[in-house]
Amino acid sequence: MTTRISTGTAVVLGPMSDVQAGEGRAYAVGELQIAVFRLSDGTLRATDAACPHNGGPLADGQSDLGVVVCPLHQYAFRFSDGGCTTAGIGSVRTYRISDQDGQIVVVIDPA
């Protein structure tokens, strides 16, 4: 289900049970690939699914409350702004995400 909101489009990705605490999962949303993370404290975070360095699958990376680490070359990307903790690597887009009545909802802002 997609809903147009004033600052973007809200997309229901599926039930919260699809992503266990401490894990990530990639979703296709139109032409976008989005990695969704359910952190150990239960909060949700979302970024682009591919590392800008070499296309590594970020959903398969280790995450904590502040960053996700690409499993290929261990570059860390902040959930706060998508920036890499290593200079010169680039950044990933971050997305607003929430649990709405047991459903994972991501907001795709206009580019």
Between the alpha carbon of residue 110 and those of residues 10, 56, 76, 86, 95, the distances in Å are 11, 25, 25, 27, 11
| Predicted confidence band of residue 110 (pLDDT cuts 50, 70, 90) | confident
Per-residue model confidence (pLDDT) at position 3: 53
Task: Let me know: does 44 contact 36? Beta carbons within 8 Å.
Answer: yes
For residue 23, pLDDT beyond 90: yes
Query: String of b and e for 20-50 (b: at least 16 CB within 10 Å)?
Result: eeeebbebebeeeebbbbbbeeeebbbbbbb
Residue 32: pLDDT over 80: yes
For 4-17, the pLDDT digits (tens) are 545 689 999 999 99
pLDDT, tens digit (0-9, with 9 covering 90-100), for 36-91: 999 999 999 999 999 999 999 999 999 998 999 999 999 999 999 999 999 999 99
Structural domains of the chain ordered from first start: 2-108 (2.102.10.10)
- What per-residue confidence (pLDDT) applies to 78? 98
Is residue 45 within 8 A of residue 28, CB to CB? The reply is no
